[in-house]
């Protein structure tokens, strides 16, 4: 069965600092991986996705993630945090074994300090 | 192009009552999914429609939950009778292709509170 694990339910950074949100996956087949973001009182929005092309994936709002098969990781980074980045972030994998439903991690809430 | 739309955005009902949630997917998307997030827990899959057919309903908690998708367009999720543990945010998502590379587009969610 496929799954993702997000390390850290809460992450706090200062404005302008590096953002690093960790995600590890488990999959018996090549995975399709996603990062979604949920801003307060909004729905889930796709940040970026990995679908077996380039291992370094660039997304919206300056975020990027690198797929590392050897480490089974798909960590999300942003060089410089902005106050508007404060939100909850979800790593997810597409269930390639059937139906392609999205399997989510527990989420990481990002706090940005001024 | 309109995104995935969910109604209502919030619902507060008493235990034992019935609630119906609605989801309008993006036009042309054959795949429609329902998910739920109970407070403090992960977002969990409930079921998957392909057009009007239920493809996978393995995530449905019990027979108090009934999902339909009339004519392969909008979908409803009925909870009858509602219990306290049904409280949470219900998300709907749709996708155009039945392939993992195509991401699902999510609605705003319906926050259900059962008191």
The minimum CA-CA distance between A45 and chain B, rounded to whole Å, is 7
Interface of B to A at Cβ within 8 Å reads 4, 31, 33, 35, 41-45, 48, 55-56, 59, 91, 93, 95, 98-109
Confidence of residue B102 (pLDDT cuts 50, 70, 90): confident
**Contact call for residues B9 and B66 (beta carbons, < 8 A):** no
Query: In chain A, which residues have pLDDT < 50?
Result: none
**Rounded Cα gap, residues B91 and B104, in angstroms:** 11
Which of A43, A101, A107 minimises the CB distance to B45? A101
Structure tokens that stand for A76 in this block:
């999300």
Token pair of A26 as six digits: 């488990």
Residue pLDDT, tens place only, B14-62: 999 999 999 999 999 999 999 999 987 899 999 999 999 999 999 999 9
Tell me whether residues A99 and B35 touch, CB distance under 8 A: no
The tens digit of pLDDT for each residue in A28-47 reads 888 889 999 999 888 899 99
User: What's the burial of B14, exposed, middle or buried (CB within 10 Å: 0-12/13-18/19+)?
Assistant: exposed
């Amino acid at each position: 069965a496929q799954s993702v694990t997000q390390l850290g339910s809460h992450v706090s950074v200062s404005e302008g600092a590096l953002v690093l949100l960790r995600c590890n996956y488990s999959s018996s087949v090549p995975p399709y991986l996603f990062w979604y973001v949920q801003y307060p009182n909004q729905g889930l929005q796709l940040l970026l996705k990995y679908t077996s092309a380039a291992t370094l994936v660039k997304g919206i709002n300056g975020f990027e993630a690198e797929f590392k098969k050897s480490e089974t990781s798909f960590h999300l980074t942003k060089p410089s945090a902005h106050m508007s980045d404060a939100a909850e972030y979800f790593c997810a994998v597409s269930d390639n074994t059937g139906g392609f439903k999205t399997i989510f991690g527990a989420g990481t809430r990002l706090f940005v300090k001024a | 192009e309109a995104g995935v739309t969910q109604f209502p955005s919030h619902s507060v009902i008493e235990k034992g009552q019935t609630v119906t949630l609605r989801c309008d997917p993006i036009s042309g998307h054959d795949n429609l999914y329902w998910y739920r997030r109970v407070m403090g827990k992960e977002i969990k899959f409930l079921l998957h429609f392909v057009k009007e057919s239920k493809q996978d309903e393995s995530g449905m908690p019990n027979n108090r939950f009934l999902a339909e998708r009339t004519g392969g367009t909008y979908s409803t999720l009925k909870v009858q009778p509602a219990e306290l543990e049904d409280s949470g945010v219900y998300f709907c998502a749709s996708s155009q292709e039945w392939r993992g590379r195509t991401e699902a587009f999510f609605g705003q969610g319906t926050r259900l509170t059962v008191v």
